[in-house]
Chains A and B, each alone.
Chain A
Amino acid sequence: MAKAILYDSVQCVGCRACEDGCAKRWNIPYNDTIAKEEEISAHKLTAVVTHGERYSRRLCMHCADPTCVSVCPVAALQKTALGAVIYDEDRCMGCRYCMLACPYQVPSYEWSSRLPRVKKCDMCYELQRSGKSTACSETCPTGATVTGDRDALIAEARKRIAEKPGDYHPRIYGINEVGGTSVLILSGVPFEQLGMKTNLPLEPLPPLTWAVQSHVPDVVLLGSVLLGGISWITHRRDEVAAAEGHAPKPRKDASK
């Protein structure tokens, strides 16, 4: 069953316990200075962002058809059946195409390291695989972040909107964005007011590339036949001319 994270901005009090829990789970140092950075980076895989009285959370969206997975030349990124998009640092050569391609600008790089890795939230894949919940939802004191089955969480999100239509913006972010994501977000205001990208296509991005990429065998096949044929014809002319005992007729000289 595909898992998902539901983040309810209306219930979030901006305590940053999720940041702390995330850092502990990754063994990354966390302190007041890092807490003030309202941006995800290689040393902060989730970030609470303040928008006046409201908050939003940044983390990997774990797309249903992830762009990063499709662009990685060495298949270092994989979409798991559990929903998490995971990264295998032993494969990665550091081309950073995943960072360029990600519509949410999520993957971060260890820029100052001599042997850098890509860093991003992996939805606590190992924890989830052993039946546990994600670190951020475990540490969230208000229930603003919960982890569960995606379908169940969508139902839960719809219920919250229906019960308190005054408190909630009537949309769930992540159902359709770039083909759907495994992180669902509820908000009290339109999503762009929380600094979220609302201009994204509602279809997955990988087919944009695949539409071209899938024709590579055609190019190889057609190209070989075509070029081979042309080469045979043009050289045959010389052979025929040689056999008939005269130099090949100089082709029409259009020199100008």
Chain B
Amino acid sequence: MTRILRLTFWQWVFLALMAAATYATFIRVVYGLGGATNLSDKFPWGIWIGFDVLCGVGFAAGGFTLAATVHIFNLKRFEPIVRPAILTAFLGYVLVVMALLFDLGRPYRIWHPLVMWNPHSVMFEVGWCVTLYTTVLALEFLPVVLERFGLVRPLKWMRISLIPLVIAGVILSTLLQSSLGGLYLIVPRKLHPLWYSPLLPVLFFVSAICAGLAMTIFESWHSSKAFGRSLEISLLARLARVLAVLLLFYLVMRFLDVAQRGALKLVLEPRVESYLFGLEISLMLLPMLLLFRQHVRRNPWALYACSVMVVFGFMTHRLNVSITGMEAGSGTQYIPKWTEVAVTLGIVALGFAIFRFAAKYLPIFEKEGAGEAAVGQAVSPACCPAQGD
């Protein structure tokens, strides 16, 4: 009995978040969106869209980026981190769909865009891409499960269909990441000029790849701590260099775009938008400068700090577009209700927990740490048939 109660700090946190999220779910179901959110007619989208969907999909971008790197560009040395990236992506999308079920007024109609078409709508494209790409990710992840249970025959078929599947995944991701930015093309007078841009789809696409790479570094770092694996530091350092170049590209594009639209002077206005814009840019610029230095990329802690900064910079951008930048133009204020925050944190916690569970019981990291005692028991070699456990 006492053994059961002896949970670690993070397990207590997880349980507390789950309890809060469960109660919030109850409120959402019984009292509707009005009882569970601070949304209003003038501010119809809150953090369930701004964070759970916009950020969640971006964090998943490591999946298609690394799948393309390894399977299409055939850069085999990145193979050890493909699986965790695809797992992150798959989990990310499943959680995004979960968040949508909270946010939609009538969640049981989530399938409607698949049969009731309006190709002019960006949301229609989002619906289709999320559906198709989640399927693709499930198929890309399936070999890991098959391998775990020693099902060799279907694995052969999977290998043949891998390249077309990865290509489909890359295209669907490209469309989805950019269309999330495209959602805001229709609000030229509501979204603050520091964020509204005809380039929104491109900016969303590039920044999503940055966030995806940062997340890959982030989770490799954490799983190496959690499972006592050695960190693939040389691999992550290479990834970090690509990340620095992409950040540079993104920031130059962002600067030229804001300058060209004549919005640069707005940065100097003492408004909350300007401060959050500054925060967003700093959280991208600082890790970029750091990651261009070799000894930073080679230092696990510095690398980790940089990836966290990029993740937060990315989040700030998405929340600026969806929340901060929309407030003035909508003539209203929005602060999420505790239920909205509880559901969001619950979904994030669930993501961490499932990732940890999958990494423990499925051959996610096997290629790197197979020899080490700590992971030995968690990894069943692909060649062996299932042994029950």
Residues of A whose CB lies within 8 Å of any CB of B are 40-42, 67, 70-76, 91-97, 99-101, 103, 105, 107-109, 111-117, 197, 199-201, 205-206, 208-213, 216, 219-220, 223-224, 227-228, 230-231, 234-235, 237-238, 251, 255-256
Contact A227/B31 with A111-B39, A201-B188 known, Cβ cut-off 8 Å:
no
**How many angstroms between the C-alpha atoms of A116 and B36 in the bound complex?**
14
Are A234 and B238 in touch, CB under 8 angstroms? no
Other A-B pairs, 11, CB within 8 Å; known A96-B45, A100-B190? A93-B113, A95-B104, A101-B187, A109-B41, A113-B32, A114-B29, A116-B33, A117-B105, A227-B171, A231-B73, A235-B74
A residues within 8 A CB of B345? Answer: none
**How many angstroms between the C-alpha atoms of A200 and B110 in the bound complex?**
33
**How many angstroms between the C-alpha atoms of A97 and B125 in the bound complex?**
13
Contact A206/B189 with A74-B113, A112-B34 known, Cβ cut-off 8 Å:
no
Can you give 25 contacting A-B residue pairs, CB < 8 Å? A67-B186, A70-B118, A70-B121, A71-B120, A72-B121, A73-B127, A74-B113, A74-B118, A93-B104, A93-B109, A93-B112, A94-B109, A100-B45, A111-B33, A111-B39, A115-B105, A116-B106, A209-B120, A209-B182, A211-B198, A213-B119, A213-B182, A223-B167, A231-B72, A255-B237
Residue B2 CB within 8 A of the other chain? no
Are A100 and B187 in touch, CB under 8 angstroms? yes
**How many angstroms between the C-alpha atoms of A37 and B170 in the bound complex?**
50
B residues within 8 A CB of A117? Answer: 105
A residues within 8 A CB of B104? Answer: 93-95
Residue B163 CB within 8 A of the other chain? yes
B residues within 8 A CB of A70? Answer: 118, 120-121, 186
Are A227 and B68 in touch, CB under 8 angstroms? yes
Q: Give B15-38 as 1s and 0s: 1 = Cβ < 8 Å from A's Cβ atoms.
A: 000000000000001111111000
Are A101 and B120 in touch, CB under 8 angstroms? no
Residue B222 CB within 8 A of the other chain? no
B residues within 8 A CB of A219? Answer: 171, 174-175
Which B173-222 residues sit within 8 Å CB-CB of chain A?
174-175, 178, 182-183, 185-190, 198, 201
**How many angstroms between the C-alpha atoms of A71 and B125 in the bound complex?**
10
B residues within 8 A CB of A75? Answer: 116-118
Give the shortest distance, in Å, between B355 (CB) and chain A (any CB): 28
Contact A97/B183 with A213-B120, A234-B72 known, Cβ cut-off 8 Å:
yes
Give the shortest distance, in Å, between A196 (CB) and chain B (any CB): 13
Q: Which of A74, A99, A114, A231 contacts B71 (CB 8 A)?
A: A231
In the complex, the chain A residue whose C-beta lies closest to that of B41 is: A108
Are A92 and B121 in touch, CB under 8 angstroms? no
B residues within 8 A CB of A67? Answer: 186
Q: Give B98-118 as 1s and 0s: 1 = Cβ < 8 Å from A's Cβ atoms.
A: 000001111101101100111
Are B188 and A205 in touch, CB under 8 angstroms? yes
Give the shortest distance, in Å, between B23 (CB) and chain A (any CB): 17
In the complex, the chain B residue whose C-beta lies closest to that of A93 is: B109
Are B241 and A256 in touch, CB under 8 angstroms? yes
Are A111 and B189 in touch, CB under 8 angstroms? no
A residues within 8 A CB of B230? Answer: none
Q: Which of B120, B166, B201 contacts A206 (CB 8 A)?
A: B120
Interface centre among B74, B107, B183 (most CB of A within 10 A): B74
Q: Which of A101, A212, A231 contacts B163 (CB 8 A)?
A: A231
A residues within 8 A CB of B225? Answer: none
Give the shortest distance, in Å, between A216 (CB) and chain B (any CB): 6
Are A109 and B33 in touch, CB under 8 angstroms? yes
In the complex, the chain B residue whose C-beta lies closest to that of A106 is: B41
Residue B44 CB within 8 A of the other chain? yes
Residue B122 CB within 8 A of the other chain? yes
**How many angstroms between the C-alpha atoms of A36 and B354 in the bound complex?**
52
Residue B124 CB within 8 A of the other chain? yes
Are A97 and B121 in touch, CB under 8 angstroms? yes
**How many angstroms between the C-alpha atoms of A74 and B175 in the bound complex?**
19
Give the shortest distance, in Å, between B285 (CB) and chain A (any CB): 22
Are A237 and B125 in touch, CB under 8 angstroms? no
Are B120 and A210 in touch, CB under 8 angstroms? yes
Give the shortest distance, in Å, between B118 (CB) and chain A (any CB): 4
